[in-house]
Amino acid sequence: MILAIDAGNTRIKAAVFEGSIVLEDFVFLKIELQKNIKNILKKYQKTTHLVISSVSDLEKLAFSAFENIVKVHFVSHNDVFPFTNDYKTPQTLGIDRMVLAAGATLQFPNQNRLVIDAGTCVTYDFVDESNHYLGGAIAPGLGMRYKALHDYTAKLPLLELENPKQYIGQSTSESIHSGVVNGLVYEIDGFIDEYKAKYSNFIIILTGGDTVFLAKRLKNTIFANSNFLLESLNQTFQYKINND
């Protein structure tokens, strides 16, 4: 069994895998890390590896207490990946983006793939049908957009995510919801349309914390899976074991 850990900017997501099957998944805060991993390993005592993808300030020391129970592996740029990395600055490419690209490559062979991860940030990552990672884009996520409107203005309120009642906001709150939500939806659809205009044989994968909220609002056909990063982390580690 493998315990996969996705240490994001705001929270920790984890899942226990037996082969390619998810036995159970979890979501918790960083401060709950030690307690939750201890409980998971106690419940799933056949776990042999702890595999971590981290974009946060979470240090390896946080996992050192478990090294006498399981083998701990932080995915890094030095690992073997199933694609050719054509990014101009490969060492600056986020590990989470590399893992998503690897998962898309392994799960959807011989296709052009665009992975959209909608979390704290929205990342776009493109791997062509020849398994070349070409790059993508990084943009603010929904929560960051709401917070920016509040933090960088004198009077706009900080709102929680809400479905816009209509396209034309008839109050300040309605206008903010329309601008934030519709703005990101149009952005995502716009990116997809640009890629589709240039590439055929195409699949779009939407993942991340805001997957469910966004998926039904997009005009484009997508494959939505909020746990795609964890599944990709498991697949990437399996690929490393078989190809090292």
> What are the tens digits of pLDDT across the range 94-126?
999 999 999 999 999 999 999 999 999 999 999
Residue 55 phi/psi, 5-degree rounding, is -115, 5
pLDDT for res 112: 97
Among the residues of the chain, which ranges form H helices?
A: 33-43, 95-107, 142-151, 172-177, 183-198, 211-215, 228-243
pLDDT for res 108: 96
Same domain for 142 and 49? Answer: no
The catalytic position among 6, 79, 96, 117 is 96
Of 30, 46, 74, the residue at which a domain comes to its end is 74
Same domain for 128 and 159? Answer: yes
pLDDT for res 57: 64
Same domain for 109 and 223? Answer: yes
In angstroms, what CA-CA distances link 177 with 28, 69, 146, 192, 228? 27, 47, 8, 22, 27
pLDDT for res 66: 87
Of 53, 74, 95, the residue at which a domain comes to its end is 74
* Two tokens, residue 181: 């939500």
pLDDT for res 30: 83
**What's 215's domain CATH number?**
3.30.420.40
Answer yes or no: 244 catalytic: no
pLDDT for res 42: 92
In the chain, the number of structural domains is: 2
Q: Is residue 238 part of a domain?
A: no
Find the domain containing 53 and state its range. Answer: 2-74
Q: Please state the pTM of the whole predicted model.
A: 0.92
pLDDT for res 11: 84
Q: Which residues of the chain have pLDDT under 70?
A: 56-59
